[in-house]
Amino acid sequence: MKDTFDIQSYMTKGVERVVSDALKATFKDPRESAFMVKFAAASRKASKKRRAAEDAGEHIPPFLIASITSKCNLHCAGCYSRCNHATVDAEPVSQLTGREWFRIFDEADELGISFILLAGGEPMLRRDIIEAAGKKPGILFPIFTNGTFMDQRYFELFDRCRNLIPIMSIEGEKEITDARRGAGIYDGLIANMDELHRRSLIFGASVTVTTQNIREVSSDDFLKKLSDRGCKAVIFVEFVPVTEDSKELAPGDNEREYLRGEIARLRQEHPEMVYISFPGDEKSSGGCVAAGRGFFHINSHGGAEPCPFSPYSDVNVRNTSLRDAMHSPLFTALRDGSILIDDHDGGCVLYEKRELVEKLLAQK
């Protein structure tokens, strides 16, 4: 079943909104505003590349998620990555090198990919890759970090390379953040925010939304505290349960509807910050945008996967180009089939229908 709406137009408008919101959020800071104006021009150029490819019969997504390491120093409660064994304590083996990642960044730039989200594990353990990303100013690199490795060298790197945007994970106020992430984590995050703000560096926050914290993390009080510290973006990531005992934490339809309403209100009333929801309202926006429709995921060993929540791969970027990877048999089957636009109960259709994804993988 083919798309029933223009996915390229839908994703392009999404990118334009993010860039427009970012310009509004940074207009009072001359250096950040100057960078965002330049990035807006690069983003328009990238969009033209994607549209030209679309007109030629090839869809290029504007986003890429890159998990640049599998190692992490924290054991956050309910972490899907640990439950899937994608994140470990041991020293990583046979992961992509900095040179290999830089080649991927080069290819992404050529294709017109505007955003590469750096994740892990804990991505700040791979300083070499983050430094390489800083050399690609036409791509914005949000770095999803627990904040525990932020140091003087990173502050200086972020100052030189304004396309590197630390996005620090926080669960709400001190009590709930430390309960999920560990004692002292909240205070460390606040110290990082204060130092980034002192240096006039742009940063954001990533919030895992659960039934326990949804009211707190979407409240004006919590978000004002972030804004007052200089935070310019908040990314709400819906909790996906990977164990039976964590299902009660997963937002249901009522919670998702509430969050959609709050984000719409916040965008109107508080344009000083950018608000993004993931996976967002895929039920009313043409379905899931994973598997290359809007983005795809590369794991730390090079496997191209539909999504971090759907860790299945039939191709490795070590052995093929980024362009060929996004046209893998698995990705093509997912985009051409009905799974991505199927009705589902939870917030992540690929996780809920993982048995169907496994069957597709077995057929390749």
Q: How does pLDDT run across 236-254, given as a tens digit for each residue?
A: 998 887 777 778 888 888 9
Alpha helices of 183-308 — where are they, by DSSP H? Answer: 185-198, 214-217, 220-228, 253-269
Evaluate if residue 69 carries a pLDDT over 80: yes
Percent residues over pLDDT 70 in the chain: 94
Query: Which stretch of 202-206, 331-335, 358-362 has the lowest confidence by average pLDDT?
Result: 358-362
* pLDDT computed for residue 23 by the predictor: 81
pLDDT band at 66 (very low <50, low <70, confident <90, very high): very high
Interacting residues of 18 by C-beta distance below 8 A, sequence separation 6+: 115, 274, 276
* pLDDT computed for residue 321 by the predictor: 96
Q: pLDDT tens digits for 38-56?
A: 999 999 999 999 999 999 9
Percent residues over pLDDT 90 in the chain: 62
DSSP β-ladder status, 274-278 and 297-298: unpaired
Query: Which stretch of 68-77, 275-284, 325-334 has the lowest confidence by average pLDDT?
Result: 275-284
The more confident residue out of 294 and 4 is: 294
Q: b vs e for 15-35, b when ≥16 Cβ sit within 10 Å of the residue's Cβ?
A: beebbebbbbbbeebeebbeb
Domains of the chain (ranges, CATH numbers) = 7-363 (3.20.20.70)
* pLDDT computed for residue 296 by the predictor: 95
Q: Which of 351, 336, 312, 302 is nearest to 7 (CA)?
A: 336
**Residue written as tokens 């914290």?**
213
Beta strands in the chain (DSSP E): 63-67, 115-119, 141-145, 164-169, 203-209, 231-238, 274-278, 297-298, 304-305
Evaluate if residue 5 carries a pLDDT over 60: no
* pLDDT computed for residue 1 by the predictor: 39
Q: How far apart are CA 229 and CA 193, in angstroms?
A: 6
Rounded to an integer, the average pLDDT of 55-83 is 89
Query: Which stretch of 104-108, 157-161, 264-268, 282-286 has the lowest confidence by average pLDDT?
Result: 282-286
